[in-house]
Amino acid sequence: MRITVRPAAEADLSAVLGLYGELNPDDAPLPRASAEAIWADMAGQRGRTVLVADADGTVVGTADCVVLPNLTRGGRPILFVENVVVSGSHQRRGVGRRLMQAAVELAEAGGCYKAQLLAADDAYVHAFYAACGFEPLAQGFRRYLTRA
In a domain, 37, yes or no: yes
- Examine the pLDDT at 148 and tell me if it is beyond 80: no
pLDDT reported for residue 140: 85
pLDDT in tens, 5-36: 999 999 999 999 999 999 999 999 999 999 99
Domain of 47 in residue numbering reads as 3-131
In a domain, 41, yes or no: yes
CB 64 within 8 A of CB 81: yes
pTM of this prediction?
0.93
- Examine the pLDDT at 110 and tell me if it is beyond 70: yes
- Examine the pLDDT at 40 and tell me if it is beyond 90: yes
- CA angle (93 as vertex; 88, 97 as ends), nearest 5: 100
In a domain, 55, yes or no: yes
pLDDT reported for residue 68: 97
- Cα(24)–Cα(30) distance, rounded to whole angstroms? 12
Q: Kindly state the DSSP code that residue 1 receives in the 8-state scheme.
A: -
In a domain, 138, yes or no: no
Q: CATH code at 53?
A: 3.40.630.30
In a domain, 137, yes or no: no
In a domain, 46, yes or no: yes
In a domain, 90, yes or no: yes
Question: Which residues fall within 8 angstroms of residue 91, CB to CB, at 6 or more apart?
Answer: none
Number of domains in the chain: 1
pLDDT in tens, 125-144: 999 999 999 999 888 888 98
Quick check: helix, strand or coil at residue 8? coil
pLDDT in tens, 75-107: 999 999 999 999 999 999 999 999 999 999 999
In a domain, 11, yes or no: yes
Quick one: what percent of the chain has pLDDT higher than 90? 90
